Amino acid sequence: MLDRIGGQLERYMDLLSTRQKLVASNIANVDTPGFHTRDIDFQSEFQSAVGGAPQVMEVPGLAVRNDGNDVSLDRESRLLAENALRFQVASSLLRTQIRTMRAAIDEGKSS
Amino acid sequence: MSLFSVLSIGASGMSAQRTRAELLVENLANAETTRTPEGGPYRRKDVVFESGAVGSPFSSFLDDQMNSPGGVSVAQIVTDTRDPERRYMPGHPDADANGYVAFPRVNPAEDMVDLMGASRNYQANVAAIGAVKDMIQRSIDLLR
């Protein structure tokens, strides 16, 4: 039981932390000349059967400033909050799964 | 790929913006300085940022192998090479033979605006660290 849903949740959280890392990197480089915003394609990475390191790509269509930098602080702060909330939901779900499993192990005595 | 390495990315951003703010404050403080150890008036300083792997030493090797996103670091500190501003002040001790004193070419408005930018970007990095810290705490709570 934990394998099927728990495995999906684990992959979801793993992708979220990868994405959060890219967001943090983009924010840190908001003043680096020539730096381009980097992200992952969340949907396709999550649906792809093969796990492993996700493909990092540069985000197209962002306004490039004079110094060649195209980091949008609005986009990054939105993603920062969104990822944190999604992670919160996923961890709550996983916690429920673990609690159910533990209840079964303890013959329903605790929980 | 660990969440902990995100903390060091945020920290690299904070430290880079702090360096920038320090230099900007130095520029503002020395806006009227006509004597320096190198001789001549003070010259405006600014930072050049560069992106790169600034992970913790523990994970840096793996990160290098995986070409993972890096933080930011100060590549170099550039000194303004423009000619100093010359003001006619014959009574000034640093005046030249014609009565002109070389003053630093510092524009306080420009530096104040940059200082606001540095401060806001510092806050953005703090927010990123806060969000990631919360994610780490949630992961730890799974074990309870």
pLDDT in tens, A60-100: 888 898 989 999 999 999 999 999 999 999 999 999 888 88
Q: Give me the sign of the Cα torsion angle A38, A23, B65, B74.
A: positive
| Calpha distance A5→A9 (Å, rounded) | 6
* Closest approach of B96 to chain A, Cα-based (Å): 39
Task: Among A25, A65, A75, pick the best mutation site for testing chain B contact (most B Cβ within 10 A).
Answer: A25
Closest CB from A21, A31, A53 relative to B6 = A21
Q: What is the mean pLDDT of chain A?
A: 87
Q: Which pLDDT belongs to residue A102?
A: 86
Residue B37 carries which DSSP code?
Answer: T
Q: Tell me: the pLDDT tens digits for B62-103?
A: 555 555 668 888 889 999 988 898 999 999 998 889 999 999
Q: Which of A16, A21, A56 would you mutate first to test chain B, the one with the most B CBs within 10 A? A: A21
Judge whether residue B61 has pLDDT over 60. no
* Nearest CA-CA partner of B29 in B88, B100, B112, B95: B112
Q: Model's pTM, two decimal places?
A: 0.79
Question: Within an 8 Å CB–CB cutoff, is residue B62 touching chain A?
Answer: no
- Whether chain B has a CB inside 8 Å of the CB on A100: the answer is no
Here the tokens at position B19 are 């360096």
What number is the ipTM of this complex? 0.72
Binned at pLDDT 50, 70 and 90, residue B60 comes out as low
User: Is 80 exceeded by the pLDDT of residue A2?
Assistant: no
pLDDT of residue B128: 93
* Least confident range of A10-24, A30-44, B10-24, B56-70: B56-70
CB contact under 8 A, A53 and B125: no
Average pLDDT over every residue of A10-33 = 90
How many Å lie between the alpha carbon of A74 and the closest alpha carbon of chain B?
10
Interface contact flag, B49 A31, Cβ < 8 Å: yes
